[in-house]
Structure 1
Amino acid sequence: MQVSLSWLSTHLDLSSYTVPQLSDLLTFAGVEVEGIEERGVATDKVVVAQIQSFEQHPNADKLSVCQVDDGSGTLRQIVCGAKNFKAGDKVPLALPGAVLPGGFAIKEGKLRGVDSLGMLCSGTELGIGEDTGGLLIMAADSPVGTPFNKLNPADVLFDLEITPNRSDLLSHLGLARELAALTGLPLKGERHHANASTSTKVKAAAEEQIVIKAAEACPLYTARLIKGVKVGPSPEWLRRRLESIGLRPINSIVDITNYVMMEMGQSLHCVDLDTLKGGIVVRLASEGEKFLALDGLSYALQTDDLVIADSERPVAIAGVMGGGETGVTETTVNVLLESAYFAPSGIRRTSRRLGLSSDSSYRFERGIDPQQVQGGSELATKLILEIAGGTAEDVVQVAGAAPALVGEVTLDENRARKLLGTPDMTGDEIRAILNKLGLTQKSASEHESQWMIPSYRLDLLRAVDLMEEIARVIGLDRVPSRQVAVAAPVDAADRAYDFAMNLRQTLASRGFFEAQTLRLIADAQLADSLGGGQGVAVKNPLSEDHTTLRPSIVPGLIATAALNIRQGLHRLRFFELGRVFLTLPKGGSREEERLAVLLSGPVSPTSWHGREPQAADVHELVGQIQNLTRTPLEVRPVKENSANYLLTSELRAGNRILGWIAQLHPARAREIDARHPVYVAELLLSALRQGSTGPTKFEELPRFPGMTRDVAMEVPADLAHAKVAAFFATQKHPLFVGAEVFDVFADPSGTKIAKDRKSIAWTLTYRSADKTLETAEVDAAHTAILTALEKTLPATVRR
């Protein structure tokens, strides 16, 4: 929400506070300040000037030498690069010594050898408006020599993030009430508009004009008829107020409803009375009923959508947007001013489903003050009569009644002191704070008080809510600091956290970057899932991109890879630890912690003095995963492959399934513009941790050299590499250290080796911890292992 400081200043005097002080005040009170923008200029050295004449600069084609009247009685020479002006135009002139937004100081100088005694300004240079490619042309009646800030006062715009429970802050009056409580400054006007003076006509007398058929969704609806209005542009003060917070003026009637909404938080809607057919009916829509909105689009409604209708058709989606056929235009003469209270849940549901959000729906779905519904109508009526003229009916037609959403709360003041840690706080101080916040004291005893909650504070329902308000006002600096915590023993949650952090540090040290993707994915991303399982569908998705709780982390990593590829990065190393959500066969769902890894591109960064490094393959990824566990890995292909993957395999450690590994299908890789094969893996954290428990063991470096022997063997073509690796891993010969494959050969033609056979070559390493080995000792150990190999596996050693 955007808030104007000058608008706030109409409610209380904030001149003694600087902008940073106000920002800190709001932040420490729980109102997040996302940004601060200064608009306009505060200096008096920017004045209105009139261009008397201009000519081409003698030394520059794109510059003009202007003679301008600044009100001093002597023409001032200015060199200007704009082309959108003519003689007689009035424009802002920054005199020497002026400081413009951004700290730009104006000085006398020369441009291409010609004196320039100031600068003619555009709107952006003065911190107002957008860049139009030239000077800011002012109104013809602007007095020459008048300081620019007198005609366009400087302002500060706060961009605030209001939490959903504080709907009372979604207006300038509401924020002024908050600042009055925090600063102790008095409000200049009314604290709220709950007391309206206009008489009402209840439903029994207005039954034919207003009928509520959905009382739960709309407990209160009011309408006031104003006839003989003249719709036109809004006056300068109203346009300036709306523009100061980023709203575009439309016409006087619409601008007034927007002003009231931003002033006091009550959303209103005006309808061209002459376009209505019959009375107003507040009802639920029919299934598939069509509605043409003010944005020019047609929407299909459902039976839980609340509409405001006449006798033939909907004229508004309640609380969200008005209709395109009944909106107020320059030809409108008679209007119906609508002010109502709608149940927040219904407005939120309709707005999300239709993807239709407005300033009005933003407030209704968080909850407005039902007691100010008629007060908002009364304020808007007063402004319409002042600005657009016309005659308003003496009474407001009302259907329903305002719901009572707040009541009385009893505060135990001793408990408040204990919870806040402020034993020195007196009862008088507590009650003074609550009074400043607008609460009314009903009764009090020595240590207890009873308070009536104002209708606009929908978040104050319990005693602890009042305690929180006291804490916000006094600030955390008031709470004394003390050491009360004790060390807790390490538990399972701590060990799980440490294990996850170790994984992060290990992968980061090997050149991987951690990603954090959303847990909600689109239906189209489900095909990128790895590991099987169905995701959990969201009942009311926020958008088409967030329809399902992810069954796999890999889709998010692929989307991250696509984004990075399109930014020019082709060496990809990403990982993410997170939770997935899986549907159970018999209904319900379960959650699971997983680690996903994505790898693609060169095995090492490119260098100016070397060739393009070789692209990583699946073995690189398997090796990276092997480094995360102490148990030897077995890669076991699975029969069912997803359409988006090749070589999908299970990763096993003994009898445990660690996860899955696969190559992204080339067609899918082309869709994300990948230049290299993309490999992904997804691991179960619980299984990975199971194989990594126990203390880490270290071995001292060998003191004696090792000796190697190579062995080539013929084996069946379908013999898994894992079986050969498992054989060598189980050998317990005292001199045998390890084995590593270095060559695989097969000939599909059958010329050099049978089609059903392949040749594998391994290097075996031998070493003694006590001495340097002799050749005979190594030969004997090597022969023993080869003999065991031929007995264990269908292998023929080539000797």
Structure 2
Amino acid sequence: MQTSLSWLSTHLDLSSYTVPQLSDLLTFAGVEVEGIEEKGVTTDKVVVAQIQSFVQHPDADKLSVCQVDDGSGTPRQIVCGAKNFKAGDKVPLALPGAVLTGGFTIREGKLRGVDSLGMMCSGKELGLGEDHSGLLIMSPDSPVGTPFNQLNPADVLFDLEITPNRPDLLSHLGLARELAALTGLPLKSERDHAKTATKPKRAAEDQIAIQAAEACPLYTARLIKGVKVGPSPDWLRRRLESIGLRPINSIVDITNFVLMEMGQPLHAFDLDKLNGGIGVRMAAEGEKFLALDGQTYALQTDDLVIADSQRPVAIAGVMGGEETGVTDTTVNVLLESAYFAPSGIRRTSRRLGLSSDSSYRFERGIDPQQVSGASELATKLILSIAGGTAEDVILAAGEAPTLVGEVTLDEDRARKLLGTPDMQGDEIHAILEKLGLTKKSASKQESRWLIPSYRLDLQRPVDLIEEVARVIGLDRVPSRQTAVASPVEAADRAYDFAMNLRQSLASRGFFEAQTLRLISTAQLADNPNTAEPVAVKNPLSEDHTTLRPSIVPGLIATAALNIRQGLHRLRFFELGRVFLQLPKGGSREEERLAILLSGPVSPSSWHAREPQAADIHELVGQIQNLTRTPFEVRPAKENTANFLLTSELRAGNRVLGWIAQLHPARARDIDARHPVYVAELLLSALRQGSTGPTKFEELPRFPGMTRDVAMEVPADLPHAKVATFFASQKHPLFVGAEVFDVFTDPTGTKMAKDRKSIAWTLTYRASDKTLETAEVDAAHTSILSALEKTLPAVVRR
């Protein structure tokens, strides 16, 4: 929220506080200050000047030599590069010695050999907006020689992040109340607008009909006739411009002023464009609405609308309609002030992707007791600025809901929780009273407090204790170390396992990515499995329509981004949650690990300018290093369009995950120079295979012996079956086997087309002695015999 210091100063005198002090005060009270911007000038050396005449610079086509009246009685010569002025215009003139925005000091000097005794300024140079295309042309009524800061006082703009539980701070009055409590300064104005001089009148059914009382408990309307719509006065325009709002016309500007002044959204209708009375109802399915932003929106039955007898004229709490908005020709006005239930406004705003200053406040909750007060304030301003005559009563339908009540505070418990046993009851009472609470009763142990209607967050005794802590300052609350060690639980083990995976992959040159859990519908094509996705009912945008069924789409998007930045050796991983649709309805969540690999196996260097590109076996090897569980790579039954070689990783009957190559066409879409390989693993399956203590083996003391074997097998025999056979051998001398060659002959000349030759190296070793050749030959013969009996293999001897 943008907050003006000069606007705040209309409610309390903050002159004794510096801007940094106010920033610290708000920050330590729980209001985050995201930015501070100084606007305007404080120096008196920027004055109003009138351009008397100007001629072309003798030595520069783009410069003019101007004679200006600065009120001193002597014309002042200024060389200027702007072109948007004429003789007689009044502009801000910075005299020598003036310090402008950014610390820029004005001095006398020469421009292309011509004396220039100051500088005429644009709005940006004075800290007023971003326009620097020309001089700031001032009102013809501005007195020459008057300091600019007298006509346009300097201001400080605070950019505040208001937490959702404090909607009362979304206004200048609300922030003034907060600062009054924190500083002890008295408010110049009323603390709230709950009391009104205008009497409410129960509206007849044909005037205001509320057909959705839960969504709109209270709706009021004030009729003002004979207004003259035009530009707003300078004070009102400056107020709105100080916080970045663009003045539109006097009526709309007044509603915006009241919104930012006291936090109550209002809307003004052109009464003559309404047909019949006001109806507050739910929209009909598919009903269309033309909003003030010029867009037409399709409504649903859970959208609350304000309607006349023929059509919707506003989306309640979000935006008014273009057909009934106030224009320069408006004469009669219906001023709306209402309370809408936050949940309905939030749902409609999110679904339509339509947000406004009004919906932002309604979503968080406004003070229902100030609905009439806001209408009364706006009416007074309309009558004084735009004229006209207002009806003597406010038409009202429904009742303002009571959202707060009384809270009993156990003061002994408050002192104990805060660690301030010396705090007296009178100090506690004074703090709560400064915050606007009313003391109903008090004893030595407890007190009972009536909560003001604007403090919707104060519902429990602990809320009052928190308020006391904020006001006295956390530096007064002592720090204590009361934590105790807790036994290791399943959540701790799961966390440690995930961190070990991260460290293992990072040590191998992989970079951890963090992608969004919401993806677009188009990204679903990058899902390597066929799991049904979970759609979001009210997506924030077209890029966030679906809860991800896989982490892989996010990694592919990350790869595309890095490729565009010039990186082609890709090593990414991410641990995160995926969301899967269940066949019979509902959904479930899983923790997974996704890995993406592409490009050279090692960085390029002087001795290897083009290192070999990684293949799918490189990725399999990386996965093998992550788990102690032996697994097989089996072709998957289903393949998706954007992937090749999709395979399951299985450890017995347990699925560890999937591995695949991105389709070359998809790889070209992201401008990848090398094949892209991805894998996605189930953390629960990986963890299941990694339980139990780590086992270490002594390094062998005796040398091993190897034997090579080549065998002919059917071309369609999976490598996994051969590997499984060797892994199952229990001969005491057999240590292991590795494949080192595969040969096929598509021509059928040297070997049948339906056959292939595989060569393996088998290793033998004894733990207690050096083997003799005969022992190794016997063991080798035994294993080969078993091989031919188990598999359709012919050993080539």
TM-score for both structures, normalised by structure 1: 0.93
Residue of structure 2 aligned with 1:507, choices 476, 489, 505? 505
Structure 2 equivalent of residue 433 of structure 1 = 431
2:337 equivalent to 1:368: no
Question: Matches of 1:222 and 1:425 in 2, distance apart?
Answer: 46
Structure 2: where are the runs of 5+ without partners? none
Shift of 1:24: 2.1
Structure 2 equivalent of residue 353 of structure 1 = 351
Contact 1:737 1:767 in 2 (8 A): yes
Residue of structure 2 aligned with 1:715, choices 713, 716, 722? 713
Contact 2:551 2:574 in 1 (8 A): yes
Residue of structure 1 aligned with 2:395, choices 394, 397, 400? 397
Structure 2 equivalent of residue 272 of structure 1 = 270
Structure 2 equivalent of residue 586 of structure 1 = 584
Shift of 1:176: 0.9
Structure 2 equivalent of residue 281 of structure 1 = 279
1:693 counterpart letter in structure 2: T
1:665-692 deviations in whole A, cap 9, x for unaligned? 2333344343333222111111111222
Residue of structure 1 aligned with 2:237, choices 223, 236, 239? 239
Q: Report the secondary structure of 2:466's partner residue.
A: helix
Q: Report the secondary structure of 1:657's partner residue.
A: strand
Contact 2:706 2:764 in 1 (8 A): yes
Alignment CA distance shift 1:737-1:119 (3 Å): farther
Shift of 1:766: 6.2
Residue of structure 2 aligned with 1:219, choices 217, 220, 230? 217
Alignment CA distance shift 1:706-1:198 (3 Å): same
1:131 counterpart letter in structure 2: D
What is the total number of aligned residue pairs between the two structures?
A: 797
Structure 2 equivalent of residue 173 of structure 1 = 173
Shift of 1:92: 3.0
Structure 2 equivalent of residue 153 of structure 1 = 153
Residue of structure 2 aligned with 1:379, choices 362, 377, 380? 377
Question: Matches of 1:58 and 1:698 in 2, distance apart?
Answer: 90
Structure 1 stretch displaced more, 529-538 or 465-474: 529-538
Structure 1 equivalent of residue 292 of structure 2 = 294
Question: Matches of 1:176 and 1:762 in 2, distance apart?
Answer: 82
Q: Report the secondary structure of 1:49's partner residue.
A: strand
Residue of structure 2 aligned with 1:520, choices 518, 521, 528? 518
Structure 1: where are the runs of 5+ without partners? none
Question: Matches of 1:610 and 1:148 in 2, distance apart?
Answer: 69
Structure 1 stretch displaced more, 503-512 or 736-745: 736-745
Matches within 5 A, 1:665-704: 665-698=663-696
Alignment CA distance shift 1:782-1:611 (3 Å): farther
1:57-79 deviations in whole A, cap 9, x for unaligned? 55555444544444444444544
Structure 2 equivalent of residue 344 of structure 1 = 342
Contact 1:551 1:581 in 2 (8 A): yes
Alignment CA distance shift 1:362-1:67 (3 Å): same
Question: Matches of 2:333 and 2:131 in 1, distance apart?
Answer: 37
2:25 counterpart letter in structure 1: L
Shift of 1:355: 1.9
Structure 1 equivalent of residue 131 of structure 2 = 131
Structure 1 stretch displaced more, 229-238 or 775-784: 775-784
Shift of 1:169: 1.0
Contact 1:531 1:659 in 2 (8 A): no
Residue of structure 1 aligned with 2:603, choices 605, 616, 636? 605
Q: CA RMSD in A?
A: 2.8
Structure 2 equivalent of residue 309 of structure 1 = 307
Structure 2 equivalent of residue 760 of structure 1 = 758
Question: Matches of 1:763 and 1:534 in 2, distance apart?
Answer: 44
Structure 2 equivalent of residue 498 of structure 1 = 496
Alignment CA distance shift 1:705-1:49 (3 Å): farther
Alignment CA distance shift 1:622-1:46 (3 Å): farther
Structure 1 stretch displaced more, 481-490 or 183-192: 481-490
Alignment CA distance shift 1:699-1:145 (3 Å): farther
Shift of 1:487: 1.4
Contact 2:2 2:157 in 1 (8 A): yes
Contact 2:529 2:640 in 1 (8 A): no
Structure 1 stretch displaced more, 159-168 or 578-587: 578-587
Structure 2 equivalent of residue 743 of structure 1 = 741
Alignment CA distance shift 1:56-1:648 (3 Å): same
Structure 2 equivalent of residue 25 of structure 1 = 25
Structure 1 equivalent of residue 36 of structure 2 = 36
Structure 1 equivalent of residue 13 of structure 2 = 13
Alignment CA distance shift 1:767-1:252 (3 Å): same
Shift of 1:191: 0.4
Contact 1:320 1:351 in 2 (8 A): yes
Question: Matches of 1:64 and 1:479 in 2, distance apart?
Answer: 65
Shift of 1:413: 1.1
Shift of 1:124: 2.2
Structure 1 stretch displaced more, 208-217 or 502-511: 208-217
Structure 1 stretch displaced more, 185-194 or 785-794: 785-794
Alignment CA distance shift 1:346-1:770 (3 Å): same
Q: Report the secondary structure of 1:365's partner residue.
A: helix
2:29 counterpart letter in structure 1: A
Residue of structure 2 aligned with 1:553, choices 544, 551, 554? 551
Question: Matches of 1:694 and 1:103 in 2, distance apart?
Answer: 67
Question: Matches of 1:686 and 1:504 in 2, distance apart?
Answer: 15
Structure 1 stretch displaced more, 311-320 or 745-754: 745-754
Q: Report the secondary structure of 1:357's partner residue.
A: coil
2:102 equivalent to 1:102: yes
1:571 counterpart letter in structure 2: R
Residue of structure 2 aligned with 1:626, choices 605, 624, 627? 624
Structure 1 stretch displaced more, 480-489 or 38-47: 38-47
Q: Report the secondary structure of 1:582's partner residue.
A: strand
Q: Report the secondary structure of 1:211's partner residue.
A: strand
Contact 1:531 1:682 in 2 (8 A): no
Question: Matches of 2:517 and 2:494 in 1, distance apart?
Answer: 20
